[in-house]
Amino acid sequence: MPNERPDTLDDILTGLNPVDATAAEQAAEHHAGLAKPPGSLGGLEAIGIRLAAIAGSTIPPAPEPAAIAVCAGDHGVLAEGVTPWPKEITAVMTSTFLAGGAAINAITAANGIELFVVNAGIADPLPADVSAHPNLLDTPVRAGSSNLRVEAALGLADATASVMLGITTGRRLIDDGARCLLTGDMGIGNTTPSAATIAALTGVGPDDAAIVTGRGTGVDDETLALKTTVIADALRRIEGGAVSGSPEALRVLAEVGGLEIGAIAGLCIAGAEARVPVIVDGVISLAGATIAATLSPVVTGYLIAGHRSTEPAASRALEHLGLDPILDLDLRLGEGTGGALAYPIVKSAARVMADMATIASLM
């Protein structure tokens, strides 16, 4: 079948195309002719031009409807005491998302974003009533990761499967009509693998682990010091190591990542494949985005940074990816909240391009 999509990660990555630089140039010219002083809408203009490059159209279509995939997974590194929260909270919060009672539900409802939850690897079984929810994609790769301080968190096969899960999810949402994807996460302890992943892919060595280590859920100084040591030990463990046959991004995901991080990477790739913008949330989503962009630099052009998380690894990833965050509200909740808050700004950027009068039309 001529329209059949590639079904292996290598083939998908090979088939990705860069954003349209010509459309971006034409969009910039269009913006300069709108009925306003040039540059007066600041960063909103840059977002509109980026949307044009993504769509390959001088005036980009409005990125709606939008769908967010909150990817959930558990982490073996909790055994090291990097957070006071128990792993059972992952399943509890997943149920809360589907019941509509979390912060991300309030924000997505306010902004017309449909919410889906992806069970990429929750350790505890979900209640039967939750498992039947139509917006739950209940296809876990495995029941959580291993302890990244002492062994590979996932292994190559499961790391690859988590990325493919994200691609399959993104394709499904796009096939069902989504014209903007948003990334979210849930996983107790997941700022630790996110920081380790970003460190490994941006050149932060074990001796500098403090550069990327943050307080996550608000841990005290003692736990922060422990968390820094855990990340340093994980980075030291993988220095010079290799997983046979894997590109660097998959090796890092396999060794120090997480299942929801891999799924988020896949969502970013699916957006690039379909030429659909992907609004990325905080540090966990940025870890996934960094994996995706390392697998294929083409992906970066399709990403929009929703906000700057207070986690230091988030700023490290933003700088590495060359992305300017839309919001800076001292957020560190995750769930996709920062990206969802940024969505109406992204939508407004497209509407400005399409709906504003030009100076020429008024003369």
- Over range 164-187, report the average pLDDT: 98
Neighbours of 14 (CB within 10 A): 10
Query: Does 31 fall in a domain?
Result: no
Q: What is the pLDDT of residues 95-121, one digit of tens each?
A: 999 999 999 999 999 999 999 999 999
Distance CA 6, CA 163 (A): 14
Residue 245 confidence (pLDDT)? 56
Active-site annotation holds for 335: yes
pLDDT of 363 higher than 90: no
Query: Does 23 fall in a domain?
Result: no
Q: Which domain holds residue 277?
A: 66-349
Give the strands of the sheet with 303-305, arranged side by side. Answer: 136-137, 113-121, 66-73, 180-186, 278-280, 303-305
Mean pLDDT score of the chain: 95
Q: Which 3 state secondary structure label does DSSP give 294? A: helix
pLDDT of 323 higher than 90: yes
Least confident piece of the model among 64-73, 180-189, 209-218: 209-218
Q: Which two tokens stand for residue 99?
A: 């019941």
Q: Which two tokens stand for residue 137?
A: 């994609």
Residue 244 confidence (pLDDT)? 52
- Count structural domains, the chain: 1
Q: What are phi and psi of 134, to 5 degrees?
A: -65, -20
Query: Does 159 fall in a domain?
Result: yes
pLDDT category at 12 given cuts 50, 70, 90 is: very high
pTM, full prediction: 0.96
pLDDT of 164 higher than 80: yes
Query: Does 22 fall in a domain?
Result: no
Residue 2 confidence (pLDDT)? 45
Share of the chain above pLDDT 90, in %: 92
pLDDT of 131 higher than 80: yes
Query: Does 110 fall in a domain?
Result: yes
Query: Does 106 fall in a domain?
Result: yes
Residue 4 confidence (pLDDT)? 81
Query: Does 221 fall in a domain?
Result: yes
**DSSP string computed for 214-253:** --TTT--HHHHHHHHHHHHHHHHHHTT---TT--HHHHHH
The answer to whether residues 291 and 262 touch, using CB atoms and an 8 Å cutoff, is yes
- Over range 289-293, report the average pLDDT: 97
pLDDT of 1 higher than 90: no
Query: Does 43 fall in a domain?
Result: no
- Over range 178-184, report the average pLDDT: 98
- What CATH number corresponds to the domain at position 233? 3.40.50.10210
